[in-house]
Amino acid sequence: MADEQFLVAQDLYLKSGIHIGTKFKTRYMEQFIYKTRPDGLSVLNLQKINERIQIAANFLSHYEPEDILIVSRRENGWKSVKAFSKATGVEVVAGRYPPGMLTNSSLSIFQEKKVILVTDSWPDRNAILDAIKVGIPVLALCDTNNQSNNIDLVIPCNNKGKKSLGLFFWILAREYLKARKVITKNEEFKGSIDDFSEE
Q: Find the CATH number of the domain harbouring 32.
A: 3.40.50.10490
Q: What is the pLDDT of residue 190?
A: 79
Number of domains in the chain: 1
Distance CA 192, CA 166 (A): 10
Distance CA 88, CA 86 (A): 6
What confidence tens digit (pLDDT) does each residue in 104-151 have?
Answer: 999 999 999 999 999 999 999 999 999 999 999 999 999 999 999 899
Determine the structural domain holding residue 118 and report its residue range.
3-196
Q: What is the pLDDT of residue 55?
A: 97
Q: What is the pLDDT of residue 1?
A: 46
The confidence band for 187, taking pLDDT boundaries of 50, 70 and 90, is: confident
> Quick one: residue 147, left, alpha or beta (phi over 0 = left, psi -120 to 50 = alpha)?
beta
**Nearby residues of 78 by Cβ (< 8 Å), 6 or more positions away:** 72, 94, 95
pTM attached to this predicted model: 0.94
What confidence tens digit (pLDDT) does each residue in 161-173 have?
Answer: 999 999 999 999 9
Is residue 59 within 8 A of residue 52, CB to CB? The reply is no
Q: What is the pLDDT of residue 184?
A: 79
Mean pLDDT of the chain: 94
Is residue 131 within 8 A of residue 140, CB to CB? The reply is no
What confidence tens digit (pLDDT) does each residue in 81-103 have?
Answer: 999 999 999 999 999 999 999 99
Q: Judging by beta carbons within 10 Å of its beta carbon (0-12, 13-18, 19+), is residue 60 exposed, middle or buried?
A: buried
